[in-house]
Amino acid sequence: MPELLKLDARELKNYAQKLHIGDKLLLSGYVYTARDAAHKRIAELMDSGKPTPFPIQNSVIYYAGPTPSPPGKVIGACGPTTSGRMDPYAPKLLDSGLAAMIGKGERSLAVREAIVRNKAVYLCAIGGAGALAAKCVKQLEVIAFDDLGCESVKRLYLENFPLVVCNDAYGGDLFSQGRMTYAK
């Protein structure tokens, strides 16, 4: 595997089985932002049989709540938020065909099992570097739940967004592997 892999977001579902924890990639293409309030609403829509704000199948969700765009910029700071807050909703989305999630921090056992079951992937972005991450965002469109402000669902177009595979389709978990390596 190359040191740094360039992937289009549309390829993630088909490429997930070739990725392993620790792989580094630059992601380009469309992703959707959603945090816990938006996830709750999306789950309610799914439960009631109503359409979701974006097609879940083969999509990538970025756990982020970007700050308002400064003059002349596409977006404000756009760093990842703690992924664990979305854990109650992630298995349902993965079972509905979600290709990948982007965030920071560990995932629950239920989410890791859903990643494996659905041949998906969990990618981590660098926390605390929201201003740098924003430089990779080339387009932004609010598509749902405008009343949530920075937590509304947005469609972003990313260019060469740096990520690391933290949970792979084979049950690999970079966090537990890191702890085991450190313990040795």
Mean pLDDT for all residues in the chain? 93
Which domains are present in the chain? Answer: 4-183 (3.20.130.10)
pLDDT of residue 75: 94
pLDDT digits (tens, 9 = 90+) for 38-82: 999 999 999 999 999 999 999 999 999 999 899 999 999 999 999
Q: Using one digit for the tens of pLDDT, what is the confidence trace for 148-171?
A: 999 999 999 999 999 999 999 999
The pLDDT score that the predictor gives to residue 127 is 80
Please, how many CA atoms are within 13 Å of residue 112, restricted to the half-sphere of its CB? 16
pLDDT at 183: 66
Q: What is the pTM of this model?
A: 0.93
Cα separation, 174 vs 8, whole angstroms? 23
